[in-house]
Structure 1
Amino acid sequence: MPRVQLAQVAISRSGDKGNISDISLFAKNNRIYEVLKNEITAEKVKEHFAGLCTGKVERYEVPNVLALKYVLHDALGGGSASSLRMDNLGKSLSAALLRMYVDIPLNVLEDLEEKNMVN
């Protein structure tokens, strides 16, 4: 099973409020969404952001738009007013999540390639 970066099979958006960041991960099709639902758990996202996110990570499924929404608590160094980080905004975490690797069945990837949906 090929291991690819999420950026090849999904897009993302993110934001922040206080010390919480939220990241929405959008699959490129239904088959990818089903794989991501099984593979990209809250625990794996927490692990991916180890050292950055010190609080819990919650995941919400939004199937009507093929999205998974992650809420990262205590992820911004206390929030913009109290953080010493140069770029602590949650918007930068969207790109960071897309660098995560995931195992995607070959037939699902081939389907994306046929439709020219792979980056």
Structure 2
Amino acid sequence: MGLGGCILQAEYGIKMRAGLVFFFSTTTPFGIALGLALTKVYRENSPTALVVVGLLNAASAELLHYMALVELLAADFMGPRLQGSVRLQLLSFAAVLLGTGGMSVMSKWA
């Protein structure tokens, strides 16, 4: 719903909006159809399947890291409150490193 609202609010022409709406509405059904087609030939423990799953997991993790660090934290770190205090910047950087380190340690058991 959020992406659909953003498409409608964007200042694009009617052709671009129609294209975005088309791809937005067909992505999930296409993924389901592809998944159903691949269940016939998919072997869960084959080396190829393990490599593909690992690469897809890595790509997903990279997207989450990008969103967290660039989109969410950048606004906080570039704000006037943090820019005015070196001590607060150092504490914030330490908190981010401590949080990411803690998540990395927890991911060992996940």
- Which has the greater radius of gyration? 2
> Does TM, normalized by the shorter one, top 0.5?
no
Q: Which has the higher contact order (CA 8 A, sep 6+)?
A: 1
Greater fraction strand: 1
Q: TM-score, with normalisation over the residues of structure 2?
A: 0.25
Greater fraction helix: 2
Q: TM-score, with normalisation over the residues of structure 1?
A: 0.24
